[in-house]
């Protein structure tokens, strides 16, 4: 089940008639993301498996279940847009909700499943894996 912000994002994508408009919207979402400072673009924060450069950081707020906030950046405008989708779906959510989020459903409802190259799709799922791993580790640490 998607959070309210993700449902709104999906609805916004549905307002566009063709993929070119959706693609422009995705890029616009990426432009609105805050840049990561150069000091946070480290080998530890870099996501492997992405064609572009991607850095992903997480901050776990203690609790039962813990809440996790993510920040990420890329050198690609399209990937920044994908990051914006992921931040909408995951950042600020509890670890258990992050684990329960069906990103494939969100991905399909937006239409990204049909319009991303295999390399971008692999990178997208590399980011999702990093996010899921962080949530699983936070759940384990809180129990």
Instruction: List, by residue number, the catalytic residues.
Output: 50
Which secondary-structure segment (H or E) carries 52? Answer: none
3-state secondary structure of 48: coil
b/e 37-59 (16+ beta carbons within 10 angstroms → b) = eeeebeeebebeebebebbbbbe
């Amino acid at each position: 089940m998607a959070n309210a912000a993700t449902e709104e994002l999906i609805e916004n994508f549905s307002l566009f008639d063709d993929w070119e408009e959706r693609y422009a919207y995705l890029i616009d979402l990426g432009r609105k993301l805050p840049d990561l400072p150069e000091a946070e673009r480290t080998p530890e924060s870099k996501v492997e498996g992405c064609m572009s450069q991607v850095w992903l950081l997480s901050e776990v707020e203690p609790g039962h279940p813990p809440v996790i906030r993510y920040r990420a950046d890329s050198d690609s405008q399209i990937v920044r847009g994908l990051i914006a989708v992921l931040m909408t779906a995951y950042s600020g959510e509890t670890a258990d909700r992050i684990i329960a989020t069906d990103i494939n459903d969100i991905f399909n409802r937006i239409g990204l499943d049909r319009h991303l190259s295999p390399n971008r799709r692999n990178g997208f799922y590399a980011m999702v894996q990093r996010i899921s791993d962080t949530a699983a580790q936070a759940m384990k640490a809180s129990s």
